[in-house]
Structure 1
Amino acid sequence: MVYGSKTTRVVIIGTGFVGSSYAFSLINQNVADEMVLLDLSKEKAEGDAMDLNHGLPFGSPMKIWAGDYSDCKDADLVVITAGANQKPGETRLDLIEKNVNIFKGIVGSVMENEFKGIFIVATNPVDILSYATWKFSGLPMERVIGSGTILDTARFRFLLSQYFDLDVRNIHGYIMGEHGDTELPVWSQTRIGSELIDRYIEHNKPDTKKEDLDEIFINVRDAAYHIIERKGATHYAIAMGLKRLTRAILRNEHSILTVSTLLKGEFGLDDLYIGVPAIVSQNGIERVMEIDLNEEEMKQLHHSAKVLKEAMAPVFKP
């Protein structure tokens, strides 16, 4: 599974907005050797495979085809983007029951074909569906990874870069918790370059108001609602986030990303998937980065976990 040592294969299950955007991002980066598309509509998967193949003269060398679950046997990654979409007015948690039922069938079909790789889950509610994938697959927790708050963190960094008029690559910070309404910004660890944000503001933008920062976070948290109202779905940015996660795994980068992973005592939490910074490599999750949170942030994280646990309870009864 080490990048460069063998033919690397990514199987994408679900070729809707997110799946097809992710597939498109992969052909523009030399990340994997093979890409297999699966969808409930075989014709949709075939059409996407044809369309993507026609772009290969302009992209990276890759073998692309519409396949079936038997192609999962030799896959390094199975990336699940299938499921019911969030509609205007719906929260991510509203999707739990219908998508858990869909995932039971998908994960069962993958595992029946002797899959030995790593799952990446992108479907919402991603934390709960990552937990479901872990349970249904029987794989070790480090080999089931949710996209978590990777996108929320990107939105956070982008909006801060706009506010401070700085390169987004020099903004460092995390959104943690549920990928949803109870997520939280870790202001205490947010840095502009190497400076903590409070110190940077003091030295460079002393007119910054707390209300300005609060509004930035609200716009991060509610971004999906605004995008869905305007165009029906969010897909480009999460596709790029999935590509980044794919590269970290296939190239064994040991990258720190805010993914959804199983906690086993970290941050005082247990037996749930939730968005936290973690080191990601060819083995999946190497370890959770148990960063220092202040009292308020820890309280918010525990509240987020409580909401997820309560939402999961009817589906995953002890």
Structure 2
Amino acid sequence: MKKTSNKIVLIGAGAVGTSFMYSAINQGIASDYVLIDAFPQAAEGNALDLADTIAVLPNPFTSIKAGDYSDCADADVIVITAGLPQKEGETRLDMVAANAVIMKTIALEVKKSGFKGISIIASNPVDVLTLIYQEVTGFDQHKVIGSGTTLDSSRLRRLLAEKLSVGPESVDAFLAGEHGDSSVAVWSHASVMGQPISKYIADKKITQAELDKIRDEAVNMAYKIISLKRATFYGIGVCLTRIVKAVLRNERATLMVGAKLNGEYGNKDLFTGVPAIIGENGWSSIIEWDLNDFEQAQFNKSCETLSTSITKAREAIK
């Protein structure tokens, strides 16, 4: 019989974590939720606040509470959003040393708990910290998933849809590589209802320069939001819910997550945003697109940028 009851543990009850939790309970993806935070009162307060929804939700959950790392032992999924937030004028990679230390502490506690499920990381810089978590825990790489460029690609789809005057659900467009400034727009595999984007924009008399501007706007969206309201959290909260749902429901969905490269796309030994198949055992495989020469060069450059930050992170946690 298919399992219908699931337990999710959230580590980091800040704005991103609670936005994920609010999205998850509204979509009814699990029955039991636990919040863990370095400040226990924050976890308890958010758990009580979220519990107030149970009487009116169309898909009510069974329980939600503040807990500790012992609650990870029987969890199906752990979502980690803990870490110092990105400040105005700061890149995600600027945060690497301090947040690597925090991630190491979390990883050791999760490992000690006996957790056997799927770990999903959203703490920034997410590509680097996903690798640090996987290396510290020693968990199977397929059971560790970074949020990757799920959010970045969602932004790209929205902005492109607005430009083309179509619904975002009709647009397939992707940012790959770093969740950050060096991410790559894979225009060679973008389409509108199956029609290649190159053909679609030719009919609409839209130039490549205009596409490149949309890419830049998507990549810089976080900076814009942070300057306006200090933090981004709703978009990533929903994207995390999408990934977790694919795991809990064994959807075998293809999402732009942070998966570990082992030679795919000519790179290895790092997690970064690529199309991967997501199901109950984590990510099962990476889909390798044929990138054009420009896209491959940009992807390689993005991986080089991450490798430099990985070195800094490893130094910080020695």
Normalised TM-score (structure 2): 0.97
Structure 1 residue 314 displacement after superposition: 3.1
Is structure 2 residue 115 aligned with structure 1 residue 78?
no
Match of 1:155 in 2: 155
Gaps of 5+ in 1: none
1:11-59 superposed Cα distances (whole Å, 9 cap, x missing partner): 0001111001111101101211111001111111111111111111222
Moved more, 289-298 or 305-314: 305-314
Aligned 8 A contact 2:132 2:313 in 1: no
Amino acid at match of 1:159: L
Match of 1:263 in 2: 261
State the identity as a percent: 41
C-alpha distance in 1 between matches for 2:134 and 2:76:
16
C-alpha distance in 1 between matches for 2:64 and 2:75:
13
What are the within-5 Å matches in structure 2 for residues 55-94 of structure 1? 55-59=53-57, 60-62=59-61, 63-94=63-94
C-alpha distance in 2 between matches for 1:295 and 1:210:
16
1:164-199 superposed Cα distances (whole Å, 9 cap, x missing partner): 110100000210000001001000110011100111
Structure 1 residue 202 displacement after superposition: 2.4
Structure 1 residue 213 displacement after superposition: 1.1
Structure 1 residue 6 displacement after superposition: 5.2
Structure 1 residue 7 displacement after superposition: 2.7
What are the within-5 Å matches in structure 2 for residues 267-278 of structure 1? 267-278=265-276
Is structure 2 residue 114 aligned with structure 1 residue 114?
yes
Match of 2:9 in 1: 11
C-alpha distance in 2 between matches for 1:236 and 1:71:
26
C-alpha distance in 1 between matches for 2:298 and 2:209:
19
Gaps of 5+ in 2: none
C-alpha distance in 2 between matches for 1:137 and 1:253:
26
C-alpha distance in 1 between matches for 2:202 and 2:131:
42
C-alpha distance in 2 between matches for 1:291 and 1:170:
20
Structure 1 residue 215 displacement after superposition: 1.1
Query: What's the secondary structure of 1:252's corresponding residue?
Result: coil
What are the within-5 Å matches in structure 2 for residues 263-302 of structure 1? 263-302=261-300
C-alpha distance in 2 between matches for 1:282 and 1:27:
19
What are the within-5 Å matches in structure 2 for residues 186-205 of structure 1? 186-203=186-203, 205=204
C-alpha distance in 1 between matches for 2:131 and 2:29:
27
C-alpha distance in 1 between matches for 2:69 and 2:271:
26
Aligned 8 A contact 2:10 2:78 in 1: yes
1:118-143 superposed Cα distances (whole Å, 9 cap, x missing partner): 11000100000000010011111000
Amino acid at match of 1:67: G
Aligned 8 A contact 2:128 2:313 in 1: no
C-alpha distance in 2 between matches for 1:266 and 1:103:
26
Query: What's the secondary structure of 1:262's corresponding residue?
Result: strand
Query: What's the secondary structure of 1:285's corresponding residue?
Result: strand
CA RMSD of aligned residues (A): 1.3
Query: What's the secondary structure of 1:315's corresponding residue?
Result: helix
Query: What's the secondary structure of 1:314's corresponding residue?
Result: helix
Aligned 8 A contact 2:22 2:50 in 1: yes
Are the structure 2 counterparts of residues 51 and 315 from structure 1 closer, same or farther at C-alpha, using a change threshold of 3 Å?
closer
Query: What's the secondary structure of 1:107's corresponding residue?
Result: helix
Match of 1:248 in 2: 246
1:293-314 superposed Cα distances (whole Å, 9 cap, x missing partner): 0010000000000011012113
Match of 2:178 in 1: 178
C-alpha distance in 2 between matches for 1:161 and 1:201:
12
C-alpha distance in 2 between matches for 1:58 and 1:164:
38
C-alpha distance in 1 between matches for 2:208 and 2:200:
14
Amino acid at match of 2:80: I
Number of equivalences: 314
What are the within-5 Å matches in structure 2 for residues 108-147 of structure 1? 108-147=108-147
Aligned 8 A contact 2:125 2:179 in 1: yes
Aligned 8 A contact 2:201 2:207 in 1: no
Amino acid at match of 1:69: Y
> Of the candidates 219, 226, 233, which is equivalent to residue 224 of structure 2?
226
1:72-94 superposed Cα distances (whole Å, 9 cap, x missing partner): 00001110000011101111001
C-alpha distance in 2 between matches for 1:33 and 1:281:
18
Aligned 8 A contact 2:78 2:120 in 1: yes
Amino acid at match of 2:126: V
Aligned 8 A contact 2:96 2:312 in 1: no
C-alpha distance in 1 between matches for 2:314 and 2:4:
38
Structure 1 residue runs of 4 or more that deviate by more than 4 Å after TM superposition:
none
